[in-house]
Amino acid sequence: MAEGPESGIRETVYKQPAGKVPTPATEVSGTRVGSVEAQTVLMNRSAADGVTAERVSMEQSAARGIDARSAQLDRSAAMSVRSERAVLQRSQATQVSADDVRMVRSRAGLVRAERAHLEEGSRVLVLAGQAEGDVRPTFDLSGAVAFGAAAGVALAIAAALLRRLFGRGTR
């Protein structure tokens, strides 16, 4: 990541959308960090191994793991997102686990949610929970279980055939 004069980590004041009270926040801009822990974390063009906060807002950033009460990703990526509420806009995540998930033009591997709302071309490989909107998961939970069982049986048969064909040692 190219670092510029505004790059780094700094304490700032953040005014939440529709909020009137300024909130202290940790801002990570144009840099890579190991982990960030704060009440509010704002990331812009940055990368982090882990982010733990009440509120996380990411723009053009990436994180291996996010653990937050509220997470908002815009043109960002995460391996794992755990939160009460997660919003992904033009973003990607390997796994999202939240009470409430909203995805707009985003992609995810596994989404576990009490409520998931998918909009405008969002795609999910496996969806566990209630969903609304433009929902077309590749697998739902029961489909994923059936696929896993079928793949396991196929691998066991293939292994047995290979053992029979090539033998296991000399006799």
If one compares 136 and 35, the residue with the highest pLDDT of the two is 35
Q: In what order do the strands lie in the sheet with 47-59?
A: 8-15, 22-29, 32-44, 47-59, 62-74, 77-89, 92-104, 107-119, 123-133, 139-140
Q: Is the dihedral of CA 11, 15, 20, 23 positive or negative?
A: negative
The model's pTM: 0.74
- pLDDT reported for residue 22: 82
- pLDDT reported for residue 68: 96
> What tens digit of pLDDT does each residue of 74-130 get?
999 999 999 999 999 999 999 999 999 999 999 999 999 999 999 878 888 888 888
Distances in Å between the alpha carbon of 19 and those of 14, 37, 45, 130? 10, 22, 25, 30
Query: Token pair for residue 30?
Result: 């144009």
Query: Token pair for residue 151?
Result: 């793949």
> What tens digit of pLDDT does each residue of 117-171 get?
998 788 888 888 887 876 666 666 677 778 788 888 888 888 888 888 787 654 4
- pLDDT reported for residue 55: 94
- pLDDT reported for residue 126: 80
Per-residue b/e over 126-160, b at no fewer than 16 CB within 10 Å?
A: bbbbebeeebebebbeeebeeeeeeeeeeeeeeee
- pLDDT reported for residue 169: 52
Distances in Å between the alpha carbon of 152 and those of 49, 126, 144, 145, 148? 33, 18, 12, 11, 6
- pLDDT reported for residue 112: 93
- pLDDT reported for residue 138: 64
- pLDDT reported for residue 6: 66
- pLDDT reported for residue 2: 46
